[in-house]
């Protein structure tokens, strides 16, 4: 199948494969550099994202931007997406059936971008993309090779807003991501 961004977006924004399509304001497709070396993947859009159609624009997104700035990864150099493209009610965790209904859109985005590094933002993304029994508190920042991709997981920025004690771990992980990115792309 010869996918294009336009075709994929059209299919995604008109999707009715699960009940979330009935309550969405906007499909939250993804944003950023479509030729990025690094792809950040969260779990699902929140209220601000549903309103704007852009992932990670609320408080958690602003905190993520601070980490990008701190380690010198320009936000415009990365691509950011979620497993789900529609907001679950009251920001609850995605249901497995919702993930199953949406995951093909993400797979097609990954194929179009063909990043070198994938970063899972939070436990749910890591459990879906790395391993179902992934333990974010014990394994964050560890690297896994899956196919052509180097994958790691970090704490979700929303968790850091609730538990600031984990912010230092996040900074360490983001520095490691920047080092790996520079190593892979031949920078520095």
Q: Establish if 164 belongs to a structural domain.
A: yes
DSSP class of residue 78?
S
Q: Establish if 44 belongs to a structural domain.
A: yes
Q: What share of the chain is helix, strand, coil (3-state, %, to 5)?
A: 50, 15, 35
Q: Establish if 188 belongs to a structural domain.
A: no
| Tens digits of residue pLDDT in 143-181 | 999 999 999 999 999 999 999 999 999 999 999 999 999
Block residue for tokens 């879906």: 128
DSSP class of residue 58?
S
Task: State the total domains in the chain.
Answer: 1
**Angle at CA of residue 158, ends 71 and 129, nearest 5°:** 80
d(CA 61, CA 110): 21
d(CA 148, CA 138): 24
Q: Establish if 177 belongs to a structural domain.
A: yes
Please give the pLDDT value at position 80. 98
- Bridge partners (DSSP) of residue 31 are 80
| Tens digits of residue pLDDT in 4-15 | 999 999 999 999
Question: Does 32 have pLDDT greater than 60?
Answer: yes
d(CA 146, CA 184): 15
pTM of the complete model: 0.97
| Tens digits of residue pLDDT in 87-108 | 999 989 999 999 999 999 999 9
Q: Establish if 1 belongs to a structural domain.
A: no
Q: Dihedral through CA 122, CA 152, CA 15, CA 23, nearest 10?
A: 10
Please give the pLDDT value at position 1. 56
Question: Does 188 have pLDDT greater than 70?
Answer: no
The DSSP H or E segment spanning 50 is helix 47-52
**What CATH number corresponds to the domain at position 56?**
3.40.470.10
For the chain, strand residue ranges (E) read 31-32, 38-42, 79-82, 117-121, 144-146, 149-154
Question: Could you list the residue range(s) of the whole structural domain that residue 42 is in?
Answer: 7-183
Query: Of 129, 117, 116, whose CA–CA distance to 174 is shortest?
Result: 117
Q: Establish if 152 belongs to a structural domain.
A: yes
Query: Of 145, 125, 112, whose CA–CA distance to 82 is shortest?
Result: 125
Instruction: Round the average pLDDT of the chain to a whole number and report it.
Output: 96
């Amino acid at each position: 199948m010869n996918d294009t961004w336009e075709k994929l977006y059209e299919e995604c924004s008109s999707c009715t494969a699960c009940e979330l399509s009935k309550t969405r304001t906007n499909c939250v497709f993804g944003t950023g550099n479509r030729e990025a070396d690094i792809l950040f993947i969260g779990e699902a859009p929140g209220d601000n994202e549903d309103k704007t159609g852009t992932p990670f624009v609320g408080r958690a997104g602003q905190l993520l931007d601070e980490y990008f700035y701190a380690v010198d990864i320009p936000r415009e150099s990365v691509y950011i997406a979620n497993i789900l493209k529609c907001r679950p009610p009251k920001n609850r965790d995605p249901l497995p059936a919702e993930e199953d209904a949406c995951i093909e859109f993400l797979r097609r985005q990954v194929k179009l971008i063909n990043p070198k590094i994938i970063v899972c933002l939070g436990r749910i993304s890591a459990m879906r993309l790395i391993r179902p029994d992934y333990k974010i508190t014990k394994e964050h920042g560890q690297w896994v090779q899956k196919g052509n991709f180097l994958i790691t997981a970090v704490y979700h920025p929303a968790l850091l807003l609730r538990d600031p004690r984990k912010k230092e771990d996040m900074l360490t992980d983001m520095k490691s991501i920047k080092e790996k990115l520079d190593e892979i792309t031949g920078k520095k």
